Amino acid sequence: MDVAQGFKGLVDEVRGSFGEEIVALRRDIHREPELGFDTEKTAGKVLAALEGLPLEIQTGVAQNGIVATLEGAGDGPTIALRADMDALPIHEETGLPFASGTDGKMHACGHDGHTSMLVGAAKALSGMREGLNGTVKFVFQPAEEGGGGGKVMVEEGVAEGVDQIFALHLWPGLPFGTAATKAGPIMAAADKFELEIKGTGGHGAMPHLAADAIVVAAHVATALQTIVSREADPVQPAVVTIGEIGAGTAFNIIPETARMGGTVRTIDDDLRHRIPERMESLVKGLAGGMRADAELDYTFSYPVTRNDPEAAALALRVAASLFGEDRAAEPAYPSMGGEDFAFFLEKLPGAYVWLGVGDVSGLHTPQFAFDEEILPRGAALLTAIALEALSG
């Protein structure tokens, strides 16, 4: 591959040179999904796929992460490209011939695709090494799905010496092959909470002698929605979701306690930091009025994924050159999903880019699957973004 030819034909070049290899890698990773930081097998497959390339490879980053560095001929900037490797605790229902072989684990968020595309970019850019004006770091990260692997990688120094960083995420609902990104927030802050409602137990036939934790929990679940509807500015996006609730051991016993868990999503930093106090005041007041008590455990998890304007513009410019002007889009609104690439973007200018896979089942569903023709496109886009960033 010749840097001088620019991006013309880059997708076809990637597809023809090693398209089958990255598809095979994606399927191999998909068959053996791993969760959180426990991505040892996945990391081994990545290392095998990178073997023979002119890379300086560091393993054991954030336990099972990999940082592979490609030194170009010039002394230009250092650009990082990142992919996540972990799967989800979901039982797969796609019926694919290479479906997960592990009950209760599945690549339902496209991380197998992200990893394969980054390997493709490493192969493509390695073939251009003599023409590269700078350095490219390929970052393979574990534990994006709630484990904060990005934060650990930053703490272990992966961001040091890097000038810009980019990442892709496969995106259902966006037209196939369309790249989308924007300046500023593109993904929400994603925080979590647990609530324990403490009442007094009793006989199901004598509720007046108990403080029913289930009834309190039901009122709390409804009341928490007023934080969004009545305490947040209507033009500021916010979400409060109860995702877990549990109590009781028998149909005729009023339980003493009920447990709830959920997530809060925000874009505005001031609102994000006000919500825990308001939530605690609301929940304790409501529980107290019903002769019960409540304990809130609130965790600030992933910050807002905030793109650097220049990096986002670069990514859109490259996507338009590579795929066509009609395949580069700026979304009107950020997603309220969360992403721990945010930890990198707190330290470095960069951009997070959605790559459309069309009208398929949504992320984090048992049926999530995508057309593998997206893989050479994604690998080419990562390659082109790195080339453009190095040229500046």
The percent of the chain in helix, strand and coil, each rounded to the nearest 5, is 35, 25, 35
Give the whole-angstrom CA distance, residue 386 versus residue 375. Answer: 17
Write the pLDDT tens digit of every residue in 75-92.
Answer: 999 999 999 999 999 999
C-beta separation of 359 from 172 below 8 A: yes
Residue reference for tokens 């959920």: 262
Give the whole-angstrom CA distance, residue 50 versus residue 31. Answer: 19
SS3 285: helix
Average pLDDT over residues 46-67: 98
Write the pLDDT tens digit of every residue in 301-359.
Answer: 999 999 999 999 999 999 999 999 999 999 999 999 999 999 999 999 999 999 999 99
Instruction: Note the pLDDT of residue 6.
Output: 60
Which helix (DSSP H) or strand (DSSP E) does residue 266 occupy?
Answer: strand 257-266
Could you give the percent of the chain with pLDDT greater than 70? 98
Q: Domain 189-302: which topology?
A: Alpha-Beta Plaits (3.30.70)
Instruction: Note the pLDDT of residue 3.
Output: 42
Where do you find CATH 3.40.630.10 in the chain? 3-186+304-391
Average pLDDT over residues 37-53: 98
Where do you find CATH 3.30.70.360 in the chain? 189-302
Instruction: Note the pLDDT of residue 4.
Output: 39
Distance of CA 19 to the CA centre of its chain: 24
The hierarchical CATH code for the domain 3-186+304-391 is 3.40.630.10
DSSP secondary structure, 324-392, as one string: -GGGEE--SS-BS---TTHHHHHHS-EEEEEEE--S-PPTTSTT----TTHHHHHHHHHHHHHHHHHH-
Tokens of 153: 């990688």
**Which residue ranges make up the annotated binding site for Mn(2+)?**
109, 111, 145, 169, 364
Residue 7 banded pLDDT, cuts 50, 70, 90: confident
Give the whole-angstrom CA distance, residue 80 versus residue 216. Answer: 49
**Which residue ranges make up the annotated binding site?**
109, 111, 145, 169, 364
Write the pLDDT tens digit of every residue in 213-233.
Answer: 999 999 999 999 999 999 999
Kindly report the number of other CB atoms within 10 A of residue 147's CB atom.
19
Instruction: Note the pLDDT of residue 392.
Output: 74
